[in-house]
């Protein structure tokens, strides 16, 4: 005789009470499992706990219900299915094979060349302080994270001509070389930086250390001046994407920017210009340079639409003959 669903839920709650989960995790597991059991009792899958195959079919149907009817995100569906799988393991000792849904990878937000030009014009022309200019240039040309930028101390920066660099990140810190543009902007900022007790590279107007939120607000303000909706993360993404598009080794880029080598593929999404250039390169072969087709073999090459072709007394080119591609190699005549 099949055990009632209510008895299974009660037994599962007893297992949860003695588990090593936190109270919030127990509450979440209990809630998802109870919702799943209510759904089971209201559908034709109420006998899903008879065997493991039936349980897998019910779980797959429940997954479709969550995605298609409730329109839940893939991460939420996977979290609920994890709870359902734990329920089956506890009450039936089944390791149910459940689907895992992954959201389509989206290209990260980066600045186009035109947007970078607009931002550069604002930094050079508009009334932007040298601190804000240095801040934006540093983020755009080094790929530092916003937290790494706010944590930079004066001792972390070295502008000596031999090897200008910054030490970014938490221990172990990574050495990020600085190009001439960044060195120029930081040098000008250091000459006017107020002498305060704060040891950070960038300071607020009151002389205190700048928070990450303050840095992000500055970048957004400069972006609005260029009619751009950007953040510190946008500048970091742009730096990494430019390095990847220039063909540098992914391990080198990961070492310089502190990015995960596995996720660097998202930064190499093709631009609109690259996609159009690739497709524009696909052209038909030039029939005039390859030769012509004799009028005698024309019926073999053409489809039934030959009578609609314009009259031709001697030869006809490939482009006008509408040839069947598989016959072209053997019918090319000098």
pLDDT tens profile 311-327: 444 444 444 444 444 44
- Model pLDDT, residue 198: 83
35, burial (CB in 10 Å: exposed 0-12, middle 13-18, buried 19+) = middle
- DSSP structure string for 78-141: HHHHHHHHHHHHHHH----------PPPPPPP---HHHHHHHHHHHHHSS--HHHHHHHHHHHH
The residue behind tokens 């990015």 is 259
- State both tokens at 25: 């995790």
Distance CA 160, CA 142 (A): 17
Distance CA 108, CA 282 (A): 28
For the record, the structure tokens of 120 come out as 């550069």
The H or E element spanning position 316 is strand 315-316
Burial of residue 155 (CB within 10 Å: 0-12, 13-18, 19+) is exposed
H helix intervals, 143-286: 146-151, 180-192, 212-225, 232-245, 250-257, 272-280
Q: For the sheet with 174-177, list strands across it.
A: 157-158, 165-168, 174-177
Write out pLDDT tens, residues 9-45: 888 888 888 888 888 888 999 999 999 988 888 887 6
In the numeric block, the tokens 């004066």 are attached to: 154
C-alpha 237/C-alpha 289 separation (Å) is: 46
Q: Report whether 85 contacts 98 (CB < 8 A).
A: yes
The pLDDT assigned to 73 comes to: 83
Low-confidence winner among 68-77, 275-284, 303-312 (lowest mean pLDDT): 303-312
pLDDT single digits (tens) 149-200: 999 999 999 998 888 999 998 778 899 999 999 999 999 999 999 888 888 9
| Strand, coil or helix: 297 | helix
CATH number 3.40.50.720 is the correct assignment for the domain at 113-272: no
Question: Which pLDDT band, with edges at 50, 70 and 90, does 92 fall under?
Answer: confident
pLDDT the model gives residue 311: 45
Sign, CA torsion 170/173/174/177: positive
**Cβ pair 299, 327 in contact under 8 A:** no
């Amino acid at each position: 005789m099949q055990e009632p669903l209510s008895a299974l839920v009660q037994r599962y709650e007893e297992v949860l009470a003695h588990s090593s989960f936190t109270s919030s995790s127990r509450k979440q597991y209990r809630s998802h499992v109870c919702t799943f059991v209510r759904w089971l009792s209201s559908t034709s899958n109420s006998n899903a706990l008879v065997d493991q195959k039936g349980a897998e079919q019910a779980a797959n149907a429940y997954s479709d219900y969550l995605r298609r009817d409730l329109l839940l995100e893939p991460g939420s569906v996977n979290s609920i299915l994890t709870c359902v799988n734990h329920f089956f393991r506890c009450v039936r000792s089944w390791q149910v094979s459940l689907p895992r849904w992954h959201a389509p990878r989206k290209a990260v937000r980066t600045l186009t060349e035109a947007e970078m030009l607009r931002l550069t014009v604002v930094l050079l022309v508009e009334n932007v302080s040298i601190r804000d200019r240095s801040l934006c240039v540093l983020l755009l040309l080094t790929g530092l994270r916003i937290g790494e930028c706010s944590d930079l101390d004066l001792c972390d920066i070295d502008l000596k001509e031999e090897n200008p660099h910054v030490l970014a990140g938490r221990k172990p810190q990574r050495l990020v070389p600085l190009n001439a543009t960044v060195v120029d902007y930081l040098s000008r900022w250091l000459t006017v930086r107020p002498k305060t007790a704060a040891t950070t590279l960038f300071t607020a107007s009151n002389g205190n250390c700048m928070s990450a939120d303050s840095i992000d607000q500055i970048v957004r303000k400069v972006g609005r001046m260029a009619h751009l909706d950007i953040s510190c993360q946008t500048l970091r993404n742009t730096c990494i994407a430019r390095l990847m598009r220039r063909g540098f080794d992914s391990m080198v880029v990961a070492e310089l920017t502190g990015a995960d080598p596995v996720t660097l593929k998202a930064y190499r999404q093709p631009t609109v210009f690259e996609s159009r250039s690739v497709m524009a390169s696909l052209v038909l072969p030039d029939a005039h340079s390859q030769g012509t087709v004799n009028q005698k073999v024309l019926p073999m090459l053409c489809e039934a639409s030959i009578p609609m072709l314009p009259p031709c007394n001697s030869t006809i080119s490939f482009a006008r003959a509408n040839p069947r591609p598989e016959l072209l190699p053997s019918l090319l005549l000098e």
